[in-house]
Each structure stands twice: as C-alpha cells, then as structure tokens.
Amino acid sequence: MATKKFNKKEFIREVKANVKALYRKNLEEATQQQLFQAVSYAVKDEIIENWLATQEQYEKDDPKYVYYMSMEFLMGRALGNNMINLTIYDDVKEALEEIGLDINVIEDQEPDAALGNGGLGRLAACFLDSLATLGYPAYGCGIRYRYGMFKQKIEDGYQVEVPDNWLKDGNPFELRRPEYAKEVKFGGYVRVEYDEKTGRNYYKQEGYQSVRAVPYDFPIVGYNNNIVNTLRIWDAEAISEFQLDSFDKGDYRKAVEQENLARNIVEVLYPNDNHYAGKELRLKQQYFFISASVQEAVAKYKKNHDDIRKFYEKATFQLNDTHPTVAVAELMRILLDEEGLTWDEAWEVTSKTCAYTNHTIMAEALEKWPIELFSRLLPRVYQIIEEINRRFVAQIEAKYPGDFEKVRKMAIIFDGQVKMAHLAIAAGYSVNGVAQLHTEILKHQELKDFYEMMPEKFNNKTNGITQRRFLLHGNPLLASWITDHIGDEWITDLPQLSKLKVYVDDPKAQQEFMNIKYQNKVRLAKYIQEHNGIEVDPRSIFDVQVKRLHEYKRQLLNILHVMYLYNQIKDHPEMDFYPRTFIFGAKAAAGYRRAKLTIKLINSVADVINNDASIKNKLKVVFIEDYRVSNAEWIFAAADVSEQISTASKEASGTGNMKFMLNGAPTLGTMDGANVEIVEEVGKENAFIFGLSADEVINYEQNGGYHPENIFNSDQDIRRVLMQLINGEYAPDDPERFREIYDSLLNTKSSDRADTYFILADFRSYADAQKRVEEAYRDEAGWAKMAMLNTACSGKFTSDRTIQQYVDEIWHLKKETVKVK
Ligand code: 8GP
C-alpha cells in the first residue's frame, strides 16, 4: 500500500508548533488537554492529504455514494482510532515518548463524541469505519448536537444526568463548511399556483420560519488504504444571512423566533433507546438534518449530471431506523417542486433511492406522529405523504379487494397518525432486519402484512462490529499476540481468526491467551479502583453486562440472581464457590423511572455485598459509572463472561455480544438476536444458553398462559429473593423503595401483564447456566480453549462483512482505490 511514510522529527516539530500557535506555550507549560489538541492537529495534518486525494479520486470516477442517514453516530474517541487506521499508532507513541508524553494520557483527554444512545448509534459508527476501509464512497449524515448523550454520575446509588458539553475545548478533527449551508423551512402554509404555460400546479411554502443548516465534516479514515470518507453533521444557525421573505421584512418577533428555533434544534440528543417519546422538537430535528442532507445530495449530483431522473444511479439513502424516513417525502418535494418532475417520475427516483433498516420490534419504539403536529410543522411534506398514502391504499385495495383490515393495518396515515415505518416500507426498495431471527420475526409477525404484499423488499443484514476499534485499539496485547500467531491480515479480513483454531489445545498458547486476559483484568480492576473506589480481584470471574438499561435486556434478572447467590453463600458459608465479580454498566433514559430504580437496586445490592466481610470476597458487584465507548473498549478486553440475557425475541441483534466474543468471552445468553448466530459459529458447547425461546415467548404473549405467581408460590429461593425487594434487606431506610420492581414481577393490578419480560420464567434456567459457567471456569484448560474458540470463531461478526452484504445486495457500489502522491 502506498501510504506516506511517517516522519517522526517532522511530527514532533509540528506538535510543538501547534502548542505554540494554539496556546502560546511551550510543551512544558501546556496542560494535557492542550497537548491532546496539539497532537490531534498534527494527526489531522496526516489525514488531510488523504482526504483531499480521496475526494479528488471520487470526483474523477463519479461513483455512486451511499448516504447513511442517522440521528445517531456514537463515534467515541477519534484520536486513537485515526492513528490506528493511519497505521501510525506505534510511531506516534514513540514520538510522544521522545518528548516525554504518554500516549494513553493524551488519548484520555479526548471527550467521547457521544452523538448516540446505544446499539443503533454505535452500529452507524462501525459502518462508517468499514465503508472507508473497504473503499466505498459514503457520507454519514447526522446532527451536530451541542450536547451528546448525558454523562452519568452515581450519587447515593442513583443515576444523576450531567450535561455532556463535549465541544467545550474545541474539536480538533472537525471542519466547518459554511459554503455548503442550506436553508430548512418549518411551518407556514402552502400556496398553490396554477401555471398556464406548463399546465401544472406549483406549490410554495409561505409564512414559514427557517434555519440555516451548516455542515461540519469529520474525516472517516479507512484502514491503511489512503481513503478518507466524510461524516457530515449539521449545526443550526439563525437565518440572518438569508433574505427574509419580503412579506416578513422587519418582523422582529419572527426574527427572534428563528433565533430560538436555531438554538433549540440541535441543542441535545434525545436520550431514549428503543423508545419513542413523540416530542415536537424531535420531529424538527429529524426534518432539519434530512432536508439539509437531501438538498446537499441533490446539489452534489447536479454539479455534474443533467438528468435528475437518474439520481438513483449515483446515490442511495440508507435510513437508519424510521427517524430519517421523512427523507422519502423530502426527496419527493425537491423532485416535484424544485426539479419539476411529474409524480410518477419523482416516485420512480425516490423508490429507487431509499432503503430502510429496522432495529427493533419493541412496540414503544414505533414512531407515529399526530397529523395535527406533522402537518403544522411540515405542511408541504405532509401533503406529499397524503398523496403517497392515497396511492398506497389504492394498491392495497387492488391487491386485497374488500379487505379493510389490511388498509387499517398497513396505511401510512391512519387513526390520526402518520406511521413512519409504513412510509419507509411503502417507499423504499429494501427493508432489512439486523439479525436472522429478527428478520424472521419482522417477516412473520411485526411486518407480516407488508412482507406478504412485497416479499421482494425484505432481507437480512446481520450486524457487525469493527475489529479495528474493538480489538486492535481496545486490546493491544491480544491484537499483537494474534498477529504473532497468524499474521496481521485479520485486521481487514476477520475470518482469518479461524486460523487460531490450531492453537486452542496448545498449553502454551492457552497460557499466553489467558495471561493476556488477566492483564486486561488488572487494567480494568485499576480503572474500577480509581473510578469506583472498589477493590476487585482480577483472579475472580469477571462476569459483565454492559449495555443500555432496559427492562427487556433484563439487568434485573442478573441482579436478582446475584441476590440469590448471596443468600446461598450466607446460608452455606462452607460451600465451594468460585469468586465472582459481577460488573454492570448502563445508562437509563432520563425519564425511564423503573430503569433508574433498577440502577439503584444494583448499587444497593453492591453496597451490602461488597461490605460484608463474612463472605470473604467471594462476591463483588460493581456498577461502572458512565459506561461509554471509550471505557467499553477496556471492559470488553477484560471480560470472562458476556451476559446477553434479553427476553428472547426482544433484542433485534445486539452488537456488544460480538465485541465480547471477539475478545474471548463466551456468551451467557438466551437464544435471541445475534446470539443465535454466535452459537451457530462457536458451537453450543462453547456458550451458556438458557431460557425460553422466541417462539415460546411470542406464544405466551399471544395466547396467555404465563403465571409468574405460580413460580413465586412454588419456588422458595425465588420467593425469598423477591421478598427481599420489599422487606428492607437492601433498603433499610425505606423498605418500600423497590416495591415497584416487586409489583412489576407479580402484580396484575396494573394494565400490563405481570412480569412482562419473563424474568421468573427464566430464573431457574439462568441460575443453572450460571452454575455451568462456574464449573467450566474451574477447568482452566477447558476454559482457555473455550475463550480462544470464541475469538477464533468471531470472524463473521465484523462490520466489514455486513457492509459488503449491504453493498452486494442493496446499494451496489463500486470499490474505489486512492493513491497518494
Ligand atoms: C438496537 C437494537 O436494540 C439492538 O439489538 C441492535 O443491535 C442495534 O439496534 C443495532 O442494530 N436498537 C436501537 O438502538 C433502537 O431501536 N434505538 C432507537 C430508538 C433509538
């Protein structure tokens, strides 16, 4: 590969010059944060050449682009990843050492770019990494939130949300691009004008408010290939530089409103995962970044193409869940009202451009906007959706004459609501789920009617993760051990890891592998000591559940089981018990009361157990504060056991499961989401599977017959644990504190079915699986083999594979190569 040679001297000179230019300081005077900035600007300099070369090459080749449209990009830190992908990490490390700087300390200054909640946002980030690495022309399109995902503090065991002012020290990697600013209009009304010459109606939005969308570009560095793609995220500014409508001239009130609109629109990321809150501002955010992105995609195309009817040959929009689906109507609007296409022409372009990914079957995540709100905010876009709906309903009626049920279930506008998923499916050329099981559930349950009407649109794309961040950067010891044994091709060809299989029975390899795990556990133990003040023993089993806090993910099952183990140990102090450290990390949506109470429960149980000297450190419980991408990299590297215990059918895929597997932690999980495929790859004997199947869960949900109170009455261990929720065992100051959780499991008073997520149903089989974990761990060689096999069999779960499938089966892009001069 013709990558430019790294020049250490030059790099050091540049770091020093940056410190001087930016802060008027020399190295010794600069703070670590200032040094981070100086180093980042020097690394950015390494990127810029490639970025220019890539754009030049694309310009020349005129390729088709994918626009990955997403409300969320959970990027994490950029510096380390950029150095890794430029293959200058070790060089920079050396250079910094020479001037007395520690690369880890420098990296640690960078705030995470936390422009996302969880799985969906992190997937988008992994996809950008893979697109650049595989050489596919792509833009990420999103929002430059002033405040990303909140920072989590734990105070008195409770989650406290602290604003994430991630831009406060400046962001060295971003580039403001005012030359690409766009106007985005909200509200007002639509005036129709008939033009006699053309015989057409023209639609004009008037009396609106608008904001100026200004893009910021982030480089997305491909691994060792000179390619640098772009993540383009939009900021909002007051419109001042645009002329107000003559109609509005001098309207001071309106000018102030437009200021406020701009200020509010990109202020903050909504902290909901798998949940739709239906707030007006959220719809504004959606239309804001979509309108700007679609305008830009069309403008880019028109720069060197005349026929807008061929737009889809050069652009495809992947809609990351329903949040960006308004793109369908916005593209129609531009094609109809600004480009003058007929409806049929515009529809052909749109339906060949848009594709939709579904990320959840959780009913509470379904986006439906009240007509009143939608049409008031986006009057012209709403008209277009009405027409799309009218035509779609006619199609349904033609296919199923007289079957009003079908219309009721499938219409885009129904019961006073605009249903965004229906719009995306009706208009898109592809609908995909994110794991085999999830796609099957979509086809045969959630989206059954749509699948029956248009089966050709449906397909599966099992998620993946980037090994560059989650192994090469996050676990350098294991990465170099792997490279020593099988070479370094795994970095861009993960299935190569299967070559490790020849080592799984080799005692020396086993020992080395487990020793690396141990060192990573020491690193995490140190982090926990520093951040939580809890001492954990790296020789204990690190049993980890890190992910967003949600009832369906069942952190509650995990902590109830810990309470059960604690009872056992207290009752039988002589019992043989392999020491365990249960590690949790999870943010709860700020308004999700029960999830927040679960965090309090975990911390309360931790307090009691960690301070009980009588159990001789057999059990420890740790809740890691502010779980995020940067500390996740260390956590995955240090895990022995990967807890993936969602109620079967509820976790669309999961991606954390894959990161654990890659780092050699077997899955303790249900047959849900991508766990199914993980087990397929590694073999059932190298995972710990338990619980109801998706079919069993769905069957209970549809036909009833589940009675958690019977389990409560007949199983005294479970009953005892549940009673401890309400007898003050973990809340002596307020025994009623956890009543809500107790009630959620047993009480049918509320409208919900008791134990919605089948925790009691799965408890025993979970406890048994945990027992099997302990037995397996005692067998050192056996465990080492199992851990190594997990790494060796994780090749399928690279996002490089996922992206290649999107390219081959949905987007049809051509690979680019870039040489630097
Ligand atoms: C998540 C799914 O829950 C997870 O299983 C999957 O791995 C991930 O998407 C990536 O496909 N879904 C969401 O994060 C989600 O639906 N979030 C939206 C409500 C924001």
CATH number at residue 673: 3.40.50.2000
* 273 alpha carbon – ligand 1 mean position (Å): 7
Closest CA to 305 of 336, 342, 355, 349: 349
Q: Which atom of ligand 1 is nearest to the CA of 123?
A: 10
Q: Is 659 a catalytic residue?
A: yes
* Atom of ligand 1 minimally distant from the CA of 357: 11
53 in any annotated domain: no
- Beta bridge partners, 230, equal 139, 219
Is residue 202 a contact partner of residue 337, using CB atoms and an 8 Å limit?
yes
Q: How far apart are the first and last CA of the chain?
A: 12
Ligand 1 centroid – CA 657 distance (Å): 13
Pocket perturbation via mutation, ligand 1, pick of 274, 462, 465, 645 by most ligand atoms within 8 A of CB: 274
Is 360 part of any domain? yes
Q: What's the CA dihedral at 534, 162, 117, 166 to 10 degrees? A: -110
Of the residues 561, 659, 737, 796, only one is catalytic, namely: 659
* 411 and 520 share one domain: no
According to the model, what pLDDT value does residue 1 have? Answer: 46
508 shares a domain with 401: no
- Assess whether 133 carries a catalytic annotation: no
H helix runs in 454-506, sequence order: 467, 476-486
Write the burial class of residue 734 (CB in 10 Å: 0-12 exposed, 13-18 middle, 19+ buried).
Answer: exposed
Q: What are phi and psi of 263, to 5 degrees?
A: -65, -40
Cα–Cα distance, 664 to 516 (Å, whole number): 10
Which residue in 325, 260, 256 sits closest to 291, CA to CA? 325
User: What H or E segment, with its residue span, contains residue 398?
Assistant: helix 379-399
What is the number of domains present in the chain?
2
- Helix %, strand %, coil % for the chain, to 5? 55, 15, 30
Domain of residue 246: give its range.
62-77+112-428
- State yes or no: is 547 an active-site residue: yes
Q: How far apart are the C-alpha atoms of 72 and 122, rounded to whole Å?
A: 8
In terms of residues, how long is the chain? 821
Asked if residue 312 and residue 204 are part of one domain, the reply reads yes
Last residue of a domain, one of 392, 413, 428: 428
Same domain, 693 and 558: yes
Known catalytic membership, residue 368: no
Ligand 1 centre distance from Cα of residue 685 (Å):
28
Minimum-distance ligand 1 atom for the alpha carbon of 276:
19
How far, in Å, is the centroid of ligand 1 from the Cα of 399? 33
Distance 680 CA to ligand 1 centre (A): 22
The catalytic residue among 462, 598, 655, 667 is: 655
Does the active-site annotation cover 531?
no
pLDDT of residue 470: 98
Residue with tokens 């099997």: 772
Cβ-in-10-Å burial (0-12, 13-18, 19+) of 87 comes to: middle
Residues 424 and 510 in one domain: no
Distance CA(470)–CA(490), nearest Å, equals 13
Q: Which residues of 146-155 are buried (b: 16+ CB within 10 A; e: fewer)?
A: bbbbbbbebe
Clarify whether residues 534 and 395 are in a common domain.
no
Over the chain (821 residues), the average pLDDT of each successive run of 10 is 78 98 97 98 97 98 98 98 98 98 98 98 99 98 98 98 97 98 98 92 94 98 98 93 55 81 95 90 98 98 98 98 98 97 98 98 92 98 98 98 98 98 98 98 98 98 98 98 98 98 98 98 97 93 98 98 98 96 98 98 98 96 98 98 98 98 98 98 98 98 96 98 98 98 85 89 98 98 98 99 99 96 68
Kindly list the protein residues whose Cβ atom lies closer than 6 A to any atom of ligand 1: 117-120, 123, 272-274, 321, 359-360, 365, 434, 463, 651-655, 673
Three-state secondary structure call for residue 159: strand
Ligand 1 centre distance from Cα of residue 712 (Å): 32
- DSSP characters over 577-626: ---EEEEEE----TT-HHHHHHHHHHHHHHHHHHT-GGGTTSEEEEEETT
Q: Considering the domain boundaries, does residue 810 fall inside one? A: no
Q: Which of 359, 380, 596, 801 is catalytic?
A: 359
550 catalytic? Reply is no
Answer whether residue 22 is part of any domain.
no
Domain boundary, last residue among 380, 401, 428: 428
Domain co-membership, 403 together with 517: no
**Which pLDDT score is estimated for 171?**
97
Structure-token match 């996740």, residue found: 632
Q: Which of 122, 149, 359 to mutate to test the pocket of ligand 1 (most atoms within 8 A of CB)?
A: 359
Rounded distance from Cα 552 to ligand 1 centre (Å): 12
d(CA 163, CA 599): 19
CA distances to 315, 343, 607, 693 from 335, in Å: 14, 9, 61, 47
Q: Which atom of ligand 1 is nearest to the CA of 651?
A: 5
Instruction: Given the residues 232, 443, 521, 547, select the one marked as catalytic.
Output: 547
> Residue 460 C-alpha to ligand 1 middle, in angstroms?
15
Q: Which atom of ligand 1 is nearest to the CA of 71?
A: 20
CA-angle at 219, arms to 237 and 360, nearest 5°: 80
The secondary structure of residue 648, as a DSSP letter, is T
Asked if 399 and 510 sit in the same domain, the reply is no
Question: Which residue is catalytic, options 553, 561, 618, 628?
Answer: 553
* Residue 609 domain-assigned (yes or no): yes
Query: Can you give the pLDDT at residue 255?
Result: 78
pLDDT value for 820:
85
Domain end position, chosen among 395, 428, 461: 428
- Residues 321, 173 share a domain: yes
Query: Which residue puts its alpha carbon closest to atom 10 of ligand 1?
Result: 120
Q: What pLDDT, on the 0 to 100 scale, is given for residue 666?
A: 98
Residue 318 and residue 406 share a domain: yes
Q: 372 with 255, same domain?
A: yes
Q: Do residues 423 and 511 share a domain?
A: no
**Residue 141 half-sphere exposure toward CB, CA atoms < 13 A:** 29
Out of 69, 120, 145, mutate this one to test ligand 1's pocket (max ligand atoms within 8 Å of CB): namely: 120
pLDDT given for residue 2 in this prediction: 45
Would you say residue 83 lies in a domain? no
* Residue 354, phi then psi, degrees to nearest 5: -95, 140
Whether 36 is in a domain gets the answer no
Main-chain dihedrals φ then ψ at residue 78, nearest 5 degrees: -100, -35
Q: Which of 110, 77, 103 is nearest to 88 (CA)?
A: 103
Residue 277: per-residue pLDDT: 87
In this structure, is residue 449 part of a structural domain? no
